[in-house]
Amino acid sequence: MATSTIKEFLVTYLMPEKCYYELFLNFHFHVPCLKFVLNKTAGFWIILDTFLAQLPQLIKMLWGGSAEGLSLSAFFLQLYAFSCPVVYAMANNFPLFAWADRLFMLAQTVAIVFLILHYRGDTVRGVLLLFALCGVMLLLRSYAAAAVISVIQASSLAAFIASKVLQATTNYHNGHTGQLSTLSVLLSFAGCLGVAFVSLQENGNSPVSLSHILSACLSCVLLAQILCYKAGAVSTTKKTV
C-alpha cells in the first residue's frame, strides 16, 4: 500500500512511469531519467523560492518585533533586483499571470524594507519609500526606452548577488545573524541551486550560469553563518550555565 502511494506520487509529480521502473525497480541509473527528475526537482525549488523565500523573513520580523542584524542596504538591493523584472514585464505589456510571482515577491520585499525602517524609528521614510517606488516604476514603464529597460533587467542578478555580499559582511561584523531567517536563506539557497542547474542545462558555462552558481554559493555562506553563530551562541550559553 505504501509502495503504491509512493509510486503514485513520484509518477504524478516527478517522473514518467518508465523512469520509475528504471530507477526504483531495475536500479538502472538511466541518465535521461535522472536529468528529467533533476529538472523537475529544480523547478519545484525555483517555485518555492519565488513564492515563499521572503515570507519566513517577514513573519520572523513581525513575530520578533525587530529588524536586528538585517542590512538595510542589502534589502534595498533586493528591492531593486525584484523590481527589475516587474518593470520589464509592465513595459513589454506581458500578461499579469506571466509575472504575478515576481510581483508577489516584490510586495514581500517592500514590506520587509518598510519594517526595517519602521523598527528603526523611521516609519515616515518607509511610507515615502513606498510611494517613491511606485512612482519610479510607473515612470520607467511609461517613458523609459526599451534599451534602458533591458539594461535594468540585466542588472537585477548583479544587485541580488551584491545584496548577499552585504548581508554576509554585516553578519561577520556583528558576530551574529540577528533576525535573519534560516528558512528564508534555505529556500533562497535551494532556489538558486535550481536556477543554476537549469541555466547550466540551457546555456552551459555562460556568465549567466556562473552568476547563478555564485549566488547559490553566497546563499550557502549565509546559511553557514546562521548555523555557526547559533552553534556558538548555544555553546556560550552552556558554558555560562
pLDDT, tens digit, 9 for 90 and up, residues 94-118:
888 888 888 889 999 999 999 999 9
Instruction: For residue 140, give the nearest of 217, 73, 212, 86 by alpha carbon.
Output: 86
Cα(241)–Cα(237) distance, rounded to whole angstroms?
Answer: 6
Q: How confident is the model at residue 13 (pLDDT cuts 50, 70, 90)?
A: low
Instruction: For residue 163, give the nearest of 48, 82, 239 by alpha carbon.
Output: 82
State how far the alpha carbon of 16 is from the alpha carbons of 37, 71, 185, 200, in Å: 9, 45, 32, 23
Cα(198)–Cα(38) distance, rounded to whole angstroms?
Answer: 9
Residue 119 in this model has a pLDDT that exceeds 90: yes
pLDDT, tens digit, 9 for 90 and up, residues 52-96:
889 999 999 999 999 999 999 999 999 999 998 988 988 888 888
Cα(172)–Cα(66) distance, rounded to whole angstroms?
Answer: 19
pLDDT, tens digit, 9 for 90 and up, residues 145-159:
888 888 888 899 999
In the chain, domain spans: 1-233
pLDDT, tens digit, 9 for 90 and up, residues 133-191:
888 888 888 888 888 888 888 899 999 999 999 999 999 999 999 899 999 999 898 88
